[in-house]
Amino acid sequence: MSGLPESEVLYHHFFAGWFPPEDPSTPMLRSDVEQVELDKGQHPRILSTLTGEGRAMMQQQLSRTLQAALADLPGLLEVTGTPSVEWLDALEEYATPERLQDLLRASNPEKPDNRYLILCCEAGAVIGEVLKSSWPRLQWIPDFPYFESCLFDLNTRLRIPVFHWAVKSLSGDERKPLRDKVSATLEFLEKGNTGGA
């Protein structure tokens, strides 16, 4: 046992407070992948309630978060090159229970610059980049708050909440390695896009 809080607890503690008070939905941690229903001809943008301006703002925030991750994580994780599964291995090796406990103690959930929130969001952006580089058909469905944004594959109707993957990985959950999650997701996408699913 790691002694760390489970991902659901951490999500509610560090993330739920950033939802607008008027949002009728209950913030909750999502499954690793979700198949969603779209009618023939429906555009994936209907999966988000954002307007065009809101989507553009969240797309910019996603880009900024990835750029921050590319600046911060190589030194922290001792990795080089472009994001890859080796980066994800290094993240998991870095995220020992002791380090995460220290991080949680130093993080104020009421501040958007708290270190736990930042690490989860930067890790989520890197997970997204690893998936997108391996499967370029994936597209961002921007949402608000931006850590609710997901990757989406139109052919399989698969929605991938990568920021939620990061919270699970940086928690006391019994973890499935990110490398394995990426591999299983790409395998599903390949089968679904070649008619094998």
Domain ranges, ordered by start, for the chain = 49-193
When pLDDT is cut at 50, 70 and 90, the band that residue 44 belongs to is low
140: helix, coil or strand?
A: strand
Region 40-48: what's the mean pLDDT? 68
pTM of the full structure: 0.93
Q: In what order do the strands lie in the sheet with 158-160?
A: 34-35, 158-160, 150-153, 139-141
Would you say residue 1 has pLDDT above 50? no
CA-angle at 184, arms to 179 and 189, nearest 5°? 125
Would you say residue 37 has pLDDT above 70? yes
Please give the Cα distance from 122 to 147 (Å, whole number). Answer: 10
When pLDDT is cut at 50, 70 and 90, the band that residue 197 belongs to is very low
Q: Which two structure tokens, joined as six digits, stand for 136? A: 């370029």
Read off the pLDDT of residues 92-144 as tens digits, 9 standing for 90 and up: 999 999 999 999 999 999 999 999 999 999 999 999 999 999 999 999 999 99
Q: Which residues pair with 159 in a beta bridge?
A: 34, 152
Cis omega (within 30 of 0) on the bond before 83?
no
The DSSP secondary-structure symbol of 78 reads T
